[in-house]
A = this chain, B = another copy of it.
Amino acid sequence: MNRFLRVNMARLSTDIKDTGDEYNLLGGRGLIARMMNEEVDPCCDPLGEANKLIFCTGILAGTPAPTSGRLSVGTKSPLTGGIKEANAGGMFGRRMIDLGFKAIIIEGKPDCDALYILKINENTASFILADNYRGLNNYKLHEELLKEFGDEIVIASIGCAGERCYKNSSIQISDTEGRPSRAAARGGVGAVLGSKGIKAVILEKANNKTRTIYSDYDEFRKANKGYIEGIMKNETSGMAMPAFGTAVLVNPVNSLGALPVNNFSSGSFDMVEAISGEEISRLQSERGGSNGHGCQPGCPIRCSNIYKDQNGQYLTSGFEYETIALNGSNLGISDLDLIAKIDRLCDDLGIDTMETGCTLGVCMEAGIIDFGDGEGALSLIGEMFEDTKFGRVIADGAARCGSHLGVKRIPAVKNQGLAAYDPRSLKGTGVTYATTPMGADHTAGNTIGDPSVSPYEKKGQVELSTGTQVGMATFDSLGMCIFSGFCTADPVNINHLISMMKSRFGGDWDADRLFGLGIETISLEKKFNKAAGFTDKDDTLPEFMYNEPLPPNNNVFDITTEELSSAIPF
């Protein structure tokens, strides 16, 4: 089932190739790293014809391995200028597997500004002029597409942001209810889809699902069962997340003093209870929303949610910790309904909620609006909807917007906004922000909760980050959700995973071979970025984090450039 579908948007041609077993051990982020190095000029214009956009699934896709249906979207990022893998849940990855495609590779771009729907079934892709969908945002778009193409399709689409090539554009993915609430959010991947003249990629229902072949199916089932038990026994993935969603992190990150508050000027928020996962859970049980909602069928973690408004009407879904902290405490906003509205608007327009939160924080720092001004935040988001001149500036993300506004305190690395953990009080994640080829990205290696090193101490953080980055790159290549990796703190579960690899693919497997997948991935990503012009000078945190102590614990980020340079030494 290792078929590659290549779509050329200059010639409107398609090509399907069965790659046999050649790509068995490449998937997700690792496959992207390989293909970007082999096929894309690292110096190309990210929005030009030489860039490619790769949708792909992971190494364990097509197996019952828990959460193994993740989608990876890869490209050269218009936000960072480096390699990008944006990872999404939702239905698209699973449907690709059903259709027998390991990768869908979008190449070239139309000469004119034509806009297409790309419709894909097992046998072919077709190009449908999308003029009647131009200018629609994602919620309306998905509704209309489901009407026209039937409600069994699965969609990856852009809103107006992607059409306009905003550097903060996401690709929104159908969730289990057919809504565009899941996102390949970071790095401007939506702008690349837009630059290729594609409004939406539609996957039709598979007529004959592809069957996966195992070296030893019984052994796989056994190991897989053990691994699922490991996930369920883990406190975070088995208990806290199903109960409270990812927003369960709000309280402990605040206690740690690492919650972003008022554009990363404090680590502790006095109205933290109002935006906590516990509060969401309470509120939604009153309103008929839900926690414990899976972004894909069969997920044992089910960290997602459906958030209803005061009238019990659907407002948004996949309302996550990062969105809440960066658009809540980071903006001095404690009104959950307003933050949820921001989430909805971002999904609708097709922009990354995290980058948006960082950018609004920078606008507040510049005095465009005040901290705590929720209506002001909505109004700035409105400028992006309306494509005003300043709206375009906001839509290019925190680093560029902040630079124009003359803001000195800009929370970004490689032009990508920080995730919702202040690195001064969570130093391992800070090392990851600085050194990952992705730009400030928590999913590249978040060290939160690791008991081996105090998050305030500099000692050991480079090693901790390196190990976590390798683990995350491995999971991103397996095509599994990083939340399914918490349980690997227990070696028993690593052994289950090793058994799964062995029983799926055969051959000798151990931990070195397993995590070698992550090492190889990062190494290729670094190679691409180096060829794109990145140097170790780009591996640094914002200057203010080195000299401005973060209340309440008054930590600064004190890991030097030289020390950082020994992270991910592959």
Contacts and interface: CB of A to CB of B under 8 A. Distances in A.
Interface in A389-445: 389-390, 392-393, 396, 400, 403-406, 408
Interface string A34-50: 00000000110101100
Contacts of A48: 408, 543
Contacts of A561: 43
B392 A165 contact: no
B393 A389 contact: yes
A35 B526 CA distance: 33
- Top 6 A-B pairs ranked by shortest CB distance? A533-B537, A389-B390, A533-B535, A165-B406, A392-B404, A45-B543
A390 B406 CA distance: 13
A45 B408 contact: yes
Interface of A: 42-43, 45, 47-48, 164-165, 167, 368, 389-390, 392-393, 396, 400, 403-406, 408, 531-535, 537-538, 540, 543, 561
A389 B407 CA distance: 13
Contacts of A540: 43
Contacts of A403: 167, 396, 400
Contacts of A390: 389-390, 393
26 contacts: A42-B537, A43-B537, A45-B408, A45-B543, A47-B406, A48-B408, A48-B543, A164-B406, A165-B406, A389-B390, A389-B393, A390-B390, A390-B393, A392-B404, A392-B405, A392-B406, A393-B393, A393-B404, A396-B403, A396-B404, A400-B404, A404-B404, A531-B537, A532-B537, A533-B534, A535-B535
Decide if the interface of chain A is mainly helix, strand, loop or mixed: loop
Total identical chains? 2
Contacts of A167: 403
Contact of A389 (B42, B368, B535): B368
Contacts of A42: 537
A390 B45 CA distance: 25
Residue among A47, A393, A538 having the largest count of chain B Cβ atoms under 10 Å = A393
Given A392-B405, A400-B400, 17 more contacts: A43-B537, A43-B561, A45-B408, A45-B543, A165-B406, A389-B390, A390-B390, A390-B393, A393-B393, A396-B403, A400-B403, A400-B404, A404-B404, A533-B534, A533-B537, A533-B538, A534-B535
A408 B109 CA distance: 14
A167 to B, nearest CB: 8
A442 to B, nearest CB: 24
